[in-house]
Amino acid sequence: MSERVSNRVFDSVNMILLAIFVLLCLAPFFHIIAISFSSNRAVTSGEVTLFPVEFSLQAYQSVFSDSSMIRSLGFTIMLTLLTTVLCMVMTMIAAYPLTKKKLKGRKVFMFIIIVTMFFSGGIIPEYILVKDLNLLNTIWALVLPGLISPFYLIILISFFNGIPESLEEAAEIDGTSQIGTMLRIILPLSLPVIATLSLFYAVGRWNGFQDTLLYITKEELYPLQLKLYQLVQNNMITDLTRNEGPAAGVRATTESLKAASVVFATVPILVVYPWLQRYFVSGVMLGAVKG
C-alpha cells in the first residue's frame, strides 16, 4: 500500500512540475497573442500580460492588407515544401547505401559526414561559393547549401540499420533491384522517421532567415522570417514618422502589429504538428535506438 501511495505522489509531483514547465513555455506565446489583439495604447502603457486589453483587430487587418506579407507567406510555403521534399530525397539516397556493410569506403564516408557536424568552412567561404555558382538572388541559394543535415542523415542510417536484412534478401531473391527494394520495402517501413525528419527540415527552413539575409536582395524572394527580422530590428516607427508624419508611422508599425506579424508567421507551421504528431515520438526513438 505504501509503495502504491508513493507512486501516486511521485506521479502527481511529476504532473505538477510538467504543467508548470508547459505554462512557462506557453506564457511568452500567449503574451504575444494578447499583444496582437490589444490596442497600441494598452501595449505601450504596459497593461497587457496574458489577456488582450482593449480588444482590437486593427493589427491583423494591417497584416492581411499588406500585399508583401501575403507574398512572403506564399513564397515561404513554396520554399518550405520544396526544401523539405528535396532534403528528404537526398537524405534517403545518401542513407540507404551507407547501411550496406559491403560498400567500399563506407567508414571513410561516415567519418567525413561526422566531421562536417563539428567543422565548416564558415560564412565567408560559403558566400563566395554561392556567389561563384551564380545562385545569389535565386531560390536555390536557400535550398542547395543545406540540402542534407549530417545529424538527420545519421538518424536515418540508424533507423535503416534496424530493419531486418531478411526482408531485403527476400526482395533480392524475387528479383527486385536495390532501388525497388528501397522504394517498396524500406520506405514504407520508415514512414515514422521520414515524417519526423520532414518536420525537422520543414521547421528549420520555415524559421531560417540568416541565409536569406546573406544571399537575397530581391524583396519578392523575402521569406516571412526575414520580413519579421526587418520589422523587429529596424525602428520603422521612427523612420516613417520622420519621413511621412506621425499618422503614417503609427499606422505602419506598432507593437501590436509586430506581434500580429509574429503570430501570422508562426501559426501556419504550428498547424502541421497535429498531422505528424503520431509519428514524432516513435520516429525519433526508433531512429535513435535501433542499429
Q: Residue 218 is part of a domain; what is its CATH number?
A: 1.10.3720.10
User: Does residue 61 lie in a domain region?
Assistant: no
Choose one of 55, 76, 95: the last residue of a domain.
55
User: Does residue 178 lie in a domain region?
Assistant: yes
User: Does residue 15 lie in a domain region?
Assistant: yes
User: Does residue 117 lie in a domain region?
Assistant: yes
Nearest one of 33, 10, 288 to 151, comparing CA atoms: 288
> Confidence band (pLDDT; 50, 70, 90) for 280?
low
Q: Which residue has the higher pLDDT, 241 or 63?
A: 63
Question: What percentage of the chain has pLDDT greater than the value 90?
Answer: 7
Q: Tens digit of pLDDT for each residue in 143-172?
A: 988 888 888 998 888 888 887 878 777 877
Does residue 36 carry a pLDDT above 60? yes
Q: Tens digit of pLDDT for each residue in 190-208?
A: 888 888 888 889 888 888 8
Both 125 and 25 in one domain: the answer is: no
Both 20 and 78 in one domain: the answer is: no
Contact indicator for 39, 53 with CB cutoff of 8 Å: yes
What stretch of H or E contains 183? none
Both 26 and 86 in one domain: the answer is: no
Beta-carbon count within 10 A of 234 CB: 11
Q: Tens digit of pLDDT for each residue in 248-277?
A: 444 434 677 778 888 888 888 777 777 666
Alpha-carbon separation of residue 219 from 62, 206, 226, 272 (angstroms) = 19, 17, 10, 27
Both 30 and 130 in one domain: the answer is: no
Does residue 246 carry a pLDDT above 70? no
Q: What is the pLDDT of residue 268?
A: 81
Does residue 247 carry a pLDDT above 50? no
Both 228 and 179 in one domain: the answer is: yes
Both 166 and 92 in one domain: the answer is: yes
Does residue 126 carry a pLDDT above 70? yes
Number of domains the chain contains: 2
Q: Tens digit of pLDDT for each residue in 81-97?
A: 999 999 999 999 888 88
Choose one of 19, 36, 55: the last residue of a domain.
55
Specify the residue for cell string 504596459: 46
> Confidence band (pLDDT; 50, 70, 90) for 175?
confident
User: Does residue 242 lie in a domain region?
Assistant: yes
Both 163 and 84 in one domain: the answer is: yes
pTM above 0.85, yes or no: no
Q: Tens digit of pLDDT for each residue in 68-85?
A: 888 888 899 999 999 999
Both 50 and 70 in one domain: the answer is: no
User: Does residue 60 lie in a domain region?
Assistant: no
The mean pLDDT of the chain is: 79
Who contacts 188 (Cβ-Cβ below 8 Å, separation ≥6)?
none
CA triple 118-120-123, angle to 5 deg: 135
> What residue numbers bound the domain in which 26 lies?
1-55
Both 144 and 27 in one domain: the answer is: no
Contact indicator for 194, 272 with CB cutoff of 8 Å: no
Both 117 and 24 in one domain: the answer is: no
User: Does residue 227 lie in a domain region?
Assistant: yes
Q: What is the pLDDT of residue 82?
A: 93
Q: What is the pLDDT of residue 277?
A: 64
Both 22 and 74 in one domain: the answer is: no
The beta strand positions in the chain, using DSSP E, are: none
Cα 138 off chain centre by: 20
Beta-carbon count within 10 A of 139 CB: 15
Both 191 and 157 in one domain: the answer is: yes
Does residue 58 carry a pLDDT above 90? no
